[in-house]
Amino acid sequence: MPLFFTVKEVDIRGLVFELKKADDNLQSQLQKELRGALKPVNDSLKAGIPKTAPLSGFARGTGSEPYLFGAVSARVSTRFRIRRGKSMNTLLSLNFSDRRPAAGFSILELAGSANVGRARNGLTNRGRAMIRNLNSRFPVQGGLGRFVIPPFKGKQPEVERMAIDILKKYAERVNRRLRGI
Protein backbone atom coordinates (compact mmCIF):
# COMPACT_ATOMS: atom_id res chain seq x y z
CA MET A 1 0.00 0.00 0.00
CA PRO A 2 2.04 2.96 -1.22
CA LEU A 3 1.53 6.48 0.06
CA PHE A 4 2.47 9.13 -2.45
CA PHE A 5 2.09 12.81 -3.20
CA THR A 6 2.46 15.04 -6.22
CA VAL A 7 5.33 17.46 -6.71
CA LYS A 8 4.55 20.04 -9.39
CA GLU A 9 7.10 22.73 -8.68
CA VAL A 10 10.08 21.10 -10.36
CA ASP A 11 10.31 19.79 -13.90
CA ILE A 12 11.32 16.27 -12.91
CA ARG A 13 11.80 14.96 -16.45
CA GLY A 14 14.27 17.72 -17.30
CA LEU A 15 16.00 17.41 -13.95
CA VAL A 16 16.54 13.66 -14.27
CA PHE A 17 17.73 14.02 -17.87
CA GLU A 18 20.26 16.71 -16.95
CA LEU A 19 21.43 14.84 -13.84
CA LYS A 20 22.18 11.75 -15.94
CA LYS A 21 23.85 13.91 -18.57
CA ALA A 22 26.05 15.69 -16.04
CA ASP A 23 27.06 12.64 -14.02
CA ASP A 24 25.55 9.18 -13.60
CA ASN A 25 26.13 9.37 -9.86
CA LEU A 26 24.05 12.53 -9.36
CA GLN A 27 20.74 10.73 -9.88
CA SER A 28 21.69 8.00 -7.42
CA GLN A 29 22.85 10.68 -4.93
CA LEU A 30 19.47 12.41 -5.28
CA GLN A 31 17.62 9.14 -4.72
CA LYS A 32 19.79 8.28 -1.72
CA GLU A 33 19.27 11.72 -0.18
CA LEU A 34 15.49 11.49 -0.65
CA ARG A 35 15.40 8.03 0.95
CA GLY A 36 17.56 9.21 3.86
CA ALA A 37 15.41 12.28 4.50
CA LEU A 38 12.16 10.29 4.48
CA LYS A 39 13.35 7.25 6.44
CA PRO A 40 12.53 8.81 9.86
CA VAL A 41 9.00 9.59 8.67
CA ASN A 42 8.65 6.06 7.32
CA ASP A 43 9.92 4.58 10.60
CA SER A 44 7.55 6.70 12.70
CA LEU A 45 4.60 5.57 10.57
CA LYS A 46 5.66 1.93 10.91
CA ALA A 47 5.81 2.34 14.70
CA GLY A 48 2.05 3.03 14.66
CA ILE A 49 1.28 -0.41 13.24
CA PRO A 50 0.36 -2.97 15.92
CA LYS A 51 2.93 -5.73 16.45
CA THR A 52 0.28 -8.35 17.07
CA ALA A 53 -2.98 -9.07 15.29
CA PRO A 54 -5.68 -6.52 16.24
CA LEU A 55 -8.34 -9.24 16.02
CA SER A 56 -7.92 -12.83 17.16
CA GLY A 57 -9.10 -14.23 13.82
CA PHE A 58 -5.99 -12.73 12.17
CA ALA A 59 -3.49 -14.24 14.62
CA ARG A 60 -1.21 -17.13 13.75
CA GLY A 61 -2.67 -20.36 15.02
CA THR A 62 -6.30 -19.25 14.80
CA GLY A 63 -6.32 -17.40 11.47
CA SER A 64 -6.01 -18.75 7.98
CA GLU A 65 -4.27 -17.52 4.86
CA PRO A 66 -4.51 -14.85 3.49
CA TYR A 67 -5.99 -13.30 6.63
CA LEU A 68 -2.92 -13.67 8.82
CA PHE A 69 -1.50 -10.52 10.37
CA GLY A 70 2.26 -10.75 9.92
CA ALA A 71 5.27 -8.51 10.04
CA VAL A 72 4.90 -5.38 7.94
CA SER A 73 7.81 -4.13 5.87
CA ALA A 74 8.19 -0.40 5.33
CA ARG A 75 10.46 1.16 2.73
CA VAL A 76 10.98 4.40 0.89
CA SER A 77 10.99 3.91 -2.85
CA THR A 78 12.48 6.36 -5.34
CA ARG A 79 11.85 5.35 -8.91
CA PHE A 80 12.84 7.81 -11.53
CA ARG A 81 11.34 6.00 -14.48
CA ILE A 82 9.41 8.73 -16.19
CA ARG A 83 6.88 7.32 -18.60
CA ARG A 84 5.98 9.38 -21.62
CA GLY A 85 2.39 10.44 -21.97
CA LYS A 86 1.57 9.95 -18.30
CA SER A 87 0.07 12.89 -16.51
CA MET A 88 1.48 11.72 -13.19
CA ASN A 89 4.55 9.65 -12.37
CA THR A 90 5.26 8.25 -8.92
CA LEU A 91 8.83 9.24 -8.21
CA LEU A 92 8.79 8.87 -4.45
CA SER A 93 6.61 6.64 -2.31
CA LEU A 94 6.44 5.17 1.15
CA ASN A 95 5.50 1.48 0.85
CA PHE A 96 4.00 -0.62 3.62
CA SER A 97 3.31 -4.23 2.84
CA ASP A 98 2.86 -7.50 4.63
CA ARG A 99 4.88 -10.47 3.62
CA ARG A 100 2.89 -12.94 1.59
CA PRO A 101 0.92 -15.11 2.16
CA ALA A 102 -0.20 -12.89 5.07
CA ALA A 103 -2.40 -10.00 3.94
CA GLY A 104 -3.91 -9.10 7.31
CA PHE A 105 -2.38 -5.62 7.48
CA SER A 106 -3.62 -4.68 4.01
CA ILE A 107 -7.11 -5.92 4.87
CA LEU A 108 -7.32 -4.32 8.31
CA GLU A 109 -5.88 -0.94 7.24
CA LEU A 110 -8.80 -0.25 4.90
CA ALA A 111 -11.57 -2.55 6.19
CA GLY A 112 -14.79 -0.59 6.45
CA SER A 113 -13.41 2.64 5.01
CA ALA A 114 -15.26 2.48 1.69
CA ASN A 115 -18.37 0.34 1.55
CA VAL A 116 -19.94 0.55 5.01
CA GLY A 117 -23.46 1.92 4.83
CA ARG A 118 -23.91 1.40 1.11
CA ALA A 119 -26.81 -1.03 1.19
CA ARG A 120 -24.53 -3.89 2.32
CA ASN A 121 -22.61 -4.01 -0.94
CA GLY A 122 -20.62 -7.19 -0.63
CA LEU A 123 -20.53 -7.24 3.17
CA THR A 124 -21.43 -10.50 4.84
CA ASN A 125 -22.50 -10.83 8.45
CA ARG A 126 -18.94 -11.95 9.30
CA GLY A 127 -17.52 -8.90 7.48
CA ARG A 128 -19.81 -6.50 9.33
CA ALA A 129 -18.88 -8.14 12.66
CA MET A 130 -15.17 -7.88 11.83
CA ILE A 131 -15.48 -4.18 10.99
CA ARG A 132 -17.56 -3.50 14.12
CA ASN A 133 -15.01 -5.25 16.38
CA LEU A 134 -12.09 -3.60 14.62
CA ASN A 135 -13.69 -0.15 14.89
CA SER A 136 -14.16 -0.63 18.65
CA ARG A 137 -10.37 -0.95 19.05
CA PHE A 138 -8.97 0.89 16.02
CA PRO A 139 -11.58 3.14 14.40
CA VAL A 140 -11.25 4.35 10.83
CA GLN A 141 -9.92 7.90 10.97
CA GLY A 142 -11.52 10.34 8.56
CA GLY A 143 -12.53 7.57 6.17
CA LEU A 144 -8.88 7.03 5.26
CA GLY A 145 -7.59 4.03 7.15
CA ARG A 146 -6.42 2.99 10.59
CA PHE A 147 -2.69 2.66 11.10
CA VAL A 148 -0.65 4.36 8.37
CA ILE A 149 -2.72 6.57 6.08
CA PRO A 150 -4.20 9.05 8.65
CA PRO A 151 -0.83 9.76 10.34
CA PHE A 152 0.76 10.22 6.91
CA LYS A 153 -1.88 12.81 5.96
CA GLY A 154 -0.80 14.81 9.01
CA LYS A 155 2.86 14.61 7.98
CA GLN A 156 2.29 15.08 4.25
CA PRO A 157 3.04 18.85 4.15
CA GLU A 158 6.35 18.26 5.97
CA VAL A 159 7.24 15.35 3.65
CA GLU A 160 6.39 17.40 0.55
CA ARG A 161 8.49 20.31 1.81
CA MET A 162 11.49 18.05 2.45
CA ALA A 163 11.23 16.41 -0.97
CA ILE A 164 10.76 19.72 -2.79
CA ASP A 165 13.74 21.26 -0.96
CA ILE A 166 15.97 18.36 -1.99
CA LEU A 167 14.70 18.46 -5.58
CA LYS A 168 15.26 22.23 -5.73
CA LYS A 169 18.82 21.77 -4.45
CA TYR A 170 19.61 19.36 -7.28
CA ALA A 171 17.75 21.52 -9.80
CA GLU A 172 19.96 24.43 -8.77
CA ARG A 173 23.05 22.28 -9.32
CA VAL A 174 21.79 21.46 -12.83
CA ASN A 175 20.98 25.12 -13.52
CA ARG A 176 24.48 26.18 -12.46
CA ARG A 177 25.98 23.56 -14.75
CA LEU A 178 23.78 24.68 -17.66
CA ARG A 179 24.76 28.32 -17.10
CA GLY A 180 28.42 27.30 -17.03
CA ILE A 181 29.11 28.51 -13.50
Per-residue model confidence as pLDDT tens digits over 53-98? 888 888 877 666 667 888 888 888 887 666 666 655 667 888 888 8
Rounded Cα gap, residues 76 and 92, in angstroms: 7
Q: Is the pLDDT of residue 148 over 80?
A: yes
Side chain identity at 86, as an amino acid letter? Answer: K
Q: Are 105 and 134 in contact (CB under 8 A)?
A: no
In this prediction, residue 9 has a pLDDT band, given cuts at 50, 70 and 90, of very low
**Domain ranges for the chain:** 2-103+154-179
